A and B are shown apart, each in its own frame.
Chain A
Amino acid sequence: MATDTTAAPVEADTLVNGPVIKFDEVVKRYGDLTVLDELDFSVEAGERVTLIGPSGSGKTTILRLLMTLEKVTDGVIWVEGEPLSHMRNSSGELVRANESYLREMRKRIGMVFQQFNLFPNMNVIRNVTEAPVHVLGLSRDEANERASELLELVGLSDKANAHPSQLSGGQQQRVAIARALAMRPDILLLDEVTSALDPELVADVQNVLRDIASSTDITMLIVTHEMHFARDVSQRVLMFDKGKIIEEGPPEQLFTEPREERTQKFLRAVLEGR
């Protein structure tokens, strides 16, 4: 817990044009279980990074910490040069972030979940406009316009008035992607977004994400077991094991000639499992 304040002077000069995400000795524990162990890593603006590793290796926890669904046990997370897990008090020291600070910081980050988590009581267009209207303060018309563009991007213009229950899993996930993008986040977190889908629906969702990756400069953090997708979209792959990064590199290198035996084993298991 000591790093709450001690990290402050070191990081005070972090610049906005530095890394867009920076983990600084981040520790996450659940009781006795250490999920992230003094993790350091950073992501540059516009970079697409895939996190791989066995379940329980901490990769989803990283996304959840960034989305502020979980709190760090120790260490500091920085987003665009500003602390995310913490905020500065009146004398400039880092203290734990309060809810209103988090609310502001969160707007820079969007997340797509494994289980879509669409609001079942709202139709598609409402799902997408809900946050732009009630968080960003857009007018209904502006929000609808923005949502229509995004629904077109994800190929669901004709489903604007459908309810989530009337859509396939793949369609729901594409709506969820549109919903996250409607907030115009700088960072998009993708948490196993195709794991809950029937195999024949996976490609549609991945194609949408490929489009977004190639047509925008949004920073992406991707947790996935789809190695082809990871290779297509990301510039860098981080291999996690037991809360630490054990190997990293560009996908061509890491997938074809992994150095670590643990990585080799993991990749083999993933490929055989499909």
Chain B
Amino acid sequence: MSWWNNEAALELLPLLLEGFRITLLATLLGSLVALSLGLVFAFIERTAPEYVRRPVGWVLQFIRFTPPIAQLFFAFYVIRPSLGLKLDALTVGIIVLGVHYATYNAEIYRAGIDGVPKGQWEAITALSLPRNRAWFGVILPQAFRRVMPSLGNNVIIMFKEVPVLSAIAVTEMVRVGKEFTSQHFAYYIEAFTIAGLIYLAASYPTSLLMRKLEVRFGN
């Protein structure tokens, strides 16, 4: 098998797995930002006064319609130094991905909230439930249940988007593979096949799990 070098593959595997650890970390923390910030955005769109809602809406549109890689460069090379922030590349990457996907999650949350039947709001009024309780006890749990599959889907999409962080030198898995091939001017097939398989091994079961959840929380 001249096109495949087992020794290189064995040498690559632990390196790639180490990179994969970063990929997972970025996905996990990025999703945490995206899920919580998305909810904040949805709340602003739903409850804030017009003069807050409008500018926030523009900013969200702008973020949604520009590529994450451009946002990444801007955050890393413009915002970070000009504010004098001492953040490492991974942290900047997590924030940028998190904010980017938060704008999508906001739309998902909004649809979920709108989808709660009007009768629920009427029952809330009839019982005089306070606003906080209405949102956190009644509306959001129902909305969340409805949109779980879509939110989960965005986690998977973000997971596959993490290699974009290599642009600001975060050593996630794909970047590790690329560095290895650049050092040797070889082993491209090994590096990217293994990386691809690791991705597949992680995303496929996750998507199955999502589908299960979707059925379990079926609407």
- Once the chains bind, are B128 and A69 in contact (CB under 8 Å)? no
Residues from 93 to 145 in B contacting A, C-beta threshold 8 Å: 117, 119-120, 122-123, 125-130, 133, 137-138, 141-142, 145
Enumerate chain B residues within 8 angstroms of A135, measured Cβ to Cβ: 127-130
Q: How far is the CB of A103 from chain B (nearest CB, A)?
A: 5
Enumerate chain B residues within 8 angstroms of A120, measured Cβ to Cβ: 142
Binds B, one of A9-17, A47-55, A111-119, A248-256: A111-119
- Once the chains bind, are B142 and A69 in contact (CB under 8 Å)? no
Q: How far is the CB of B169 from chain A (nearest CB, A)?
A: 45
- Chain B residue with Cβ nearest A132: B127
- Once the chains bind, are A113 and B119 in contact (CB under 8 Å)? yes
- How many Å lie between the Cα of A83 and that of B127 in the bound state? 19
7 A–B contacts, CB within 8 A, in A order: A69-B126, A106-B125, A106-B128, A113-B126, A118-B123, A119-B138, A134-B137
Q: How far is the CB of B65 from chain A (nearest CB, A)?
A: 35
- Once the chains bind, are B125 and A183 in contact (CB under 8 Å)? no
In the A-B complex, the 6 residue pairs with the closest CB atoms = A131-B127, A117-B119, A117-B123, A121-B141, A111-B126, A106-B128
Q: How far is the CB of B54 from chain A (nearest CB, A)?
A: 24
Q: Mark A128-169, 1 if CB is under 8 A from B, else 0.
A: 001100110000000000000000000000000000000000
Q: How far is the CB of A183 from chain B (nearest CB, A)?
A: 7
- How many Å lie between the Cα of A120 and that of B116 in the bound state? 11
Enumerate chain B residues within 8 angstroms of A110, measured Cβ to Cβ: 126
* Total residues of chain B contacting the partner, CB 8 A: 17
Show the binding face of B for A, using Cβ within 8 Å.
117, 119-120, 122-123, 125-130, 133, 137-138, 141-142, 145
Enumerate chain B residues within 8 angstroms of A68, measured Cβ to Cβ: 125
Provided the pairs A120-B142, A130-B137, A134-B133 are in contact, do residues A183 and B122 lie with their beta carbons within 8 angstroms? no
Show the binding face of A for B, using Cβ within 8 Å.
67-69, 103, 106-107, 109-111, 113, 115-122, 130-131, 134-135, 179-180, 183
- Once the chains bind, are A69 and B122 in contact (CB under 8 Å)? yes
- Once the chains bind, are B127 and A179 in contact (CB under 8 Å)? yes
Q: How far is the CB of B102 from chain A (nearest CB, A)?
A: 24
Provided the pairs A106-B125, A135-B128, A180-B126 are in contact, do residues A119 and B133 lie with their beta carbons within 8 angstroms? no
Provided the pairs A121-B142, A130-B133, A134-B137 are in contact, do residues A103 and B119 lie with their beta carbons within 8 angstroms? no
- How many Å lie between the Cα of A155 and that of B129 in the bound state? 26
- How many Å lie between the Cα of A159 and that of B126 in the bound state? 23
- Once the chains bind, are A121 and B127 in contact (CB under 8 Å)? no
- Once the chains bind, are A69 and B123 in contact (CB under 8 Å)? no
Enumerate chain A residues within 8 angstroms of B126, measured Cβ to Cβ: 67, 69, 106, 109-111, 113, 180
Q: Name 17 extra pairs, CB < 8 A, besides A113-B123, A131-B127.
A: A67-B122, A68-B125, A106-B126, A110-B126, A117-B123, A119-B120, A119-B137, A119-B138, A121-B138, A130-B133, A131-B129, A134-B129, A135-B128, A135-B130, A180-B126, A183-B127, A183-B128
Q: How far is the CB of A31 from chain B (nearest CB, A)?
A: 19
Q: How far is the CB of A37 from chain B (nearest CB, A)?
A: 24
- How many Å lie between the Cα of A130 and that of B136 in the bound state? 12
Enumerate chain A residues within 8 angstroms of B125, measured Cβ to Cβ: 67-69, 106
Enumerate chain A residues within 8 angstroms of B120, measured Cβ to Cβ: 117, 119
- Once the chains bind, are A121 and B145 in contact (CB under 8 Å)? yes
Partner of A115, one of B119, B127, B130, B133: B119
Enumerate chain B residues within 8 angstroms of A115, measured Cβ to Cβ: 119
Q: How far is the CB of A137 from chain B (nearest CB, A)?
A: 11
- How many Å lie between the Cα of A131 and that of B127 in the bound state? 6
- How many Å lie between the Cα of A68 and that of B120 in the bound state? 15
- How many Å lie between the Cα of A122 and that of B137 in the bound state? 9
Q: How far is the CB of B130 from chain A (nearest CB, A)?
A: 6
